[in-house]
Amino acid sequence: MKTLPLLLLAFLASLAATPAFAAPAFTFLARWQTWTPAPTAKPTEAVRPVGLYQDVARTQPALKAGDRVLAFHDESRPDGLTLTQPDPAKAPTLEFTHGRPVLRFDGIDDHLLMTADLPLDGLDLWARYTLTRPPTSAYDSVVSGHVSGGYDFGPENAFRLLTVDYQRSTAQTLPQVVHLSARAGAATLLTEGALLHQGKFATGAVTRLSIGSGLPKAPKHFLAMDLEAVVIARDVSPENARVITTQLGARLDAPRLVCTGDSLTDGSHGFGQNSIRPTLEYPSQLQTLRPDRFVINNGKWGALVSTQLPVDPLYAPGAQLVVFIGSNNLSAGHSPEKSYEAIAVYCRARQAKGWTVYVTTLLPRVAPATVPDWEKNRQALNALIRAGHASFASGLIDFAADPHVGDAGDELDATYYTPDQVHLTAAGAAVLAEQVHRALPPP
């Protein structure tokens, strides 16, 4: 053990762009393309935005930091929707954070607007953003809109569809996620995974949408933010939305590399203070290292081998699968032998579907109170994986052999582990990304 001492604007790729999913009835989505900058290019602009324009007519692409964005068009499908802002003074600017494009709204009057006719029933809205300064009122809008029909969903409900609670926002500096879901007369709004509002609707449709500042009748609801991801779609599951977000910065036609597992893959400890999504978890960092692959983050917080998100719907010819799972099995009291057998059975089933499978060893963590022998069990499980991986995987990625994150006691190192001594910081995730990169065949 050594000495101790966690886009992107994401107007996301359409489900129509990924054959594994059926296209929703309505989408406001888009995609990014990876390009390799010249040696003299700024390393912060490593992902090229697609569908952003400096003019309403969409003739002049917005490509560099500081460009005013007067139009966004979903270019992932022929009938893609468009949001515009004819006044340059009210248009957001394109910026880059961690090499990923974001739209920066000033919180005064910046916004993009579209006329829409989206039936409320079956509508899903997601947004991921980072505040650039505290909100100006108790409830500020990320996405707002006019809603026709009978709709009872919180104060000033005709204007604010996705809102952010002032108290939660001022205490949170990491990216936040808000999600509105409307189904069969019931609407719920989640922020950071916690219920913020719920209400009912009889009929209704969203007739106008504004991203950034509120609509004209609700001028006080402005939010100064870097918008990293937004989905406006019909009948899209959270699991599918997760898959869509990982397309940012990837060539959509590239061979797929799916990273499956638990919160150590997902990059979050729920949606709390330890979250490092969406740009710094190891699959996103791996995407930067491997632009020849389309990297998909299939991690799920709390997953055991048997409760991971499905991966087979993501399969395409030439797809690779990195299986980093088992920590929660040991924490649930499963023996090393039982956990090993579950991993082996899972990997063999994926091989039978055509996947090229890579399996990893497990990292240390603070032992759960109910499993005091957790570290001993981890060592035993890792030994089984090292000895037997050839019978169910094409390769081994030995995370536990890394001197920075893999030794017992490394979980105490705040450089690589978060204060819970379980999850990884952005630096810790970078170690995993580099290990996977080295283990895969070269581009």
pLDDT digits (tens, 9 = 90+) for 103-138: 898 888 888 888 767 777 777 776 767 777 776 666
Pairing verdict, β 256-261 and 294-299: parallel
For residue 418, give both structure tokens.
Answer: 């978060």
d(CA 424, CA 443): 27
Residue 42 to residue 44: CA distance in whole angstroms: 5
- Angle (nearest 5°) at CA 424 between 129 and 304: 95
> Residue 319 pLDDT more than 60?
yes
Among 58-67, 117-126, 206-215, top mean pLDDT goes to 58-67
Interior/surface letters 369-382, b for 16+ CB within 10 angstroms, e for the rest:
eeeeebbebbbbbb
Mean pLDDT of the chain: 74
* Closest to 166 in 3D by CA, of 221, 99, 244, 210: 221
Q: What is the pLDDT of residue 215?
A: 56
pLDDT (tens digit, 9 = 90+) per residue, 425-436?
Answer: 888 999 999 999
* Band of residue 170 on the pLDDT scale cut at 50, 70, 90: low
pLDDT of 213:
67
Question: Parallel, antiparallel, or unpaired: how do β-strands 123-131 and 93-97 relate?
Answer: unpaired
pTM of the model: 0.56
For residue 229, pLDDT beyond 70: no
pLDDT of residue 387: 98
Which of 16-30, 128-142, 191-205, 217-231 is least confident? Answer: 16-30
Tracing tokens 């030439």 back to the chain, one arrives at 318
Identity (one letter) of the amino acid at 299? G
Of all residues in the chain, what percent carry a pLDDT higher than 90?
A: 34
| Distance between CA atoms of residues 340 and 400, nearest Å | 15
Domains, the chain, in order of start with CATH, read 15-236 (2.60.120), 254-439 (3.40.50.1110)
Confidence of residue 2 (pLDDT cuts 50, 70, 90): very low
